[in-house]
């Protein structure tokens, strides 16, 4: 997995090209945000994590950018680029609130689970989904979660923590959706199916920008 | 689907680059052969069809080439490049007999079916597999099957017929294998799994260059 940290517009430009190349493969992003939340200070979204289906992760330090790049605004506002995670709608709303930019295309993994996995309690967290669908053990350290996301430099541990949530998000989404696509014969070969993302979008109809309720 | 017809070494060189690029994505080829078979004349393999997971199909007119290109020999001899179809072992043996070059890595789709699809009679043809796994209706015209594969120019219908068998072969293989990979949680996301083809090779262990028997 290749992870890029973006703190200025030059770093964004490089990341944007790679992101857009991957979005031509599949219009799906793992999506997550981090911010400082203490009793005395509730910061704006400090870090935006975007992960593509190929395993590229772009960590955008919104708190360090002088302005939000137009290319990023475009990706965030594009409802046809699915942004998946646990409660991505809420993360999007906070970005809108903090930076005055629209975010569209959120798909809550719990809504995806409820639709495609029979007999499951969908109200589970990313850690349990990662175990069940990817057989991955996630280390959800509260120390890292509550660390200083506005620090001058992120530590390697912060970078890894932020990237993992987004990467795992997109992998869980693909695992659930692909299982369904193959089981029902909707798709025979992911690589040669030119309509794959039309089919995935059709599967997610009615789930985009919809809040999960237990 | 992009289909290339190769009748000379310059056409092969172009095809080889595209084939090898796709083989870096996935070491699997749909594999089929055609030859003239009449009561009065049984020809050598005239057409070799190779299809990659991305939907590229290379139709090599062995009967028109002055010599078999080294790059093609290498692909055919490489046991780690899986060559899948219905009775590919037999097709490979005929190539060896006719052109004195080794062919390794054949995987019979019927053996794959028997291993991964419970309760199925695996002794079915490509047409039925295509219907069951891809929901594709194949037109198996006996007129085309028995047409002149050594003609100066192949007709568009011959090109389409030859390409379809190889393309459908690789798609059926991917459909059966992917279904299993996702259902059992072996793979979460095809695009980001660097070990995908190690896993597919492991699944096919004991099936490579093994004759299907009913
Ligand atoms: Na989150
Ligand atoms: Na997170
Ligand atoms: Na054949
Ligand atoms: Na054939």
Residue A44 lies in a domain: yes
Whether B135 shows a pLDDT value over 90: the answer reads no
Alpha helices in chain B (DSSP H): 9-25, 70-77, 88-99, 109-116, 126-129, 142-145, 156-183, 196-203
What is the model's pLDDT at position B1?
A: 57
Distance B163 CA to ligand 4 centre (A): 9
Residues B204, B66 contacting (CB under 8 angstroms) = no
Residue B124's φ and ψ, nearest 5 degrees, are -125, 165
Whether B169 shows a pLDDT value over 90: the answer reads yes
Contacts of B187 in chain A (CB under 8 A): 175
Contacts of the segment B86-90: beta carbons below 8 A, 24+ positions apart: B86/B110, B86/B125, B86/B126, B86/B169, B87/B212, B88/B31, B88/B32, B89/B209, B89/B210, B89/B211
Residue A126 lies in a domain: yes
Residue B209 lies in a domain: no
- Supply the DSSP symbol for A27: S
pLDDT in tens, chain A (214 residues): 599 999 999 999 999 999 999 999 899 999 999 999 999 999 999 999 999 999 999 999 999 999 999 999 999 999 999 999 999 999 999 999 999 999 999 999 999 999 999 888 999 999 999 999 998 999 888 889 999 999 999 999 999 999 999 999 999 999 999 999 988 888 889 888 889 999 999 999 999 999 999 8
Residue A210 lies in a domain: no
Contacts of A191 in chain B (CB under 8 A): 25-26, 53-55, 174, 190
Distance B172 CA to ligand 3 centre (A): 14
What is the model's pLDDT at position A103?
A: 98
State whether residue A156 sits within 8 Å of chain B by CB: no
Whether B25 shows a pLDDT value over 90: the answer reads no
Instruction: pLDDT band for B119, please (50, 70, 90 cuts).
Output: confident
Whether B104 shows a pLDDT value over 90: the answer reads yes
- Could you tell me the CATH number of the domain that includes residue A188? 3.30.420.10
Instruction: pLDDT band for B142, please (50, 70, 90 cuts).
Output: confident
Ion ligand 4 — residues with CB < 5 Å: B 32, 165
Residue A213 lies in a domain: no
How many domains, chain A?
Answer: 1
Contacts of A25 in chain B (CB under 8 A): 191
Residue B19 lies in a domain: yes
Q: Give the domain range for residue A98.
A: 2-203
Task: Indicate the helix (H) or strand (E) that contains A114.
Answer: helix A109-116
Residue B142 lies in a domain: yes
What is the model's pLDDT at position B13?
A: 97
Token pair listed for A123: 């109200």
Strand order in the sheet with B82-85: B2-6, B56-60, B47-51, B28-34, B82-85, B106-108
Distance B15 CA to ligand 4 centre (A): 20
Residue A163 lies in a domain: yes
Residue B122's φ and ψ, nearest 5 degrees, are -75, -10
Provide ipTM, 2 decimals: 0.80
What is the model's pLDDT at position A143?
A: 87
Classify A157 as helix, strand or coil: helix
Sequence-distant (6+) residues with CB within 8 A of B122 are B110, B111, B113, B114, B212
Token pair listed for B52: 């990659």
* B104 CB-side CA count, 13 A: 7
Q: Which of B191, B193, B197 to mutate to test the interface with A (most CBs of A within 10 A)?
A: B191
What is the model's pLDDT at position B118?
A: 86
Crossing angle of helices B156-183 and A156-183, in 10° steps, is 120
Q: Other CB atoms closer than 10 Å to residue A10's CB: what's the count?
A: 9
Contacts of B25 in chain A (CB under 8 A): 191
């Amino acid at each position: 997995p290749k992870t890029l940290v973006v703190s200025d517009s030059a770093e964004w430009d490089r990341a944007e090209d790679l992101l857009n190349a991957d979005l031509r493969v599949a219009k799906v992003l793992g999506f997550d945000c981090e911010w400082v939340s203490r009793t005395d200070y509730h910061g704006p979204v400090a870090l935006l994590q975007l992960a593509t289906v190929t395993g590229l992760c772009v960590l955008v330090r919104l708190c360090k950018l002088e302005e939000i790049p137009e290319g990023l605004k475009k990706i965030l506002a594009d409802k046809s680029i699915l942004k998946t995670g646990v409660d991505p709608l809420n993360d999007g709303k906070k970005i809108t609130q903090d930076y005055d930019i629209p975010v569209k295309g959120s798909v809550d993994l719990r809504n995806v689970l409820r639709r495609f996995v029979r007999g499951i309690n969908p109200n589970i967290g990313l850690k349990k989904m990662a175990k069940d669908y990817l057989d991955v053990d996630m280390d959800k350290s509260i120390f890292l979660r509550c660390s200083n996301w506005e620090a001058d430099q992120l530590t390697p541990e912060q970078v890894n923590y932020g990237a993992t949530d987004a990467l795992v998000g997109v992998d869980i989404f693909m695992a659930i959706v692909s299982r369904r696509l193959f089981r029902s014969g909707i798709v025979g070969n992911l690589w040669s199916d030119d309509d794959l993302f039309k089919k995935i979008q059709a599967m997610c109809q009615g789930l985009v920008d919809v809040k999960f309720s237990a």
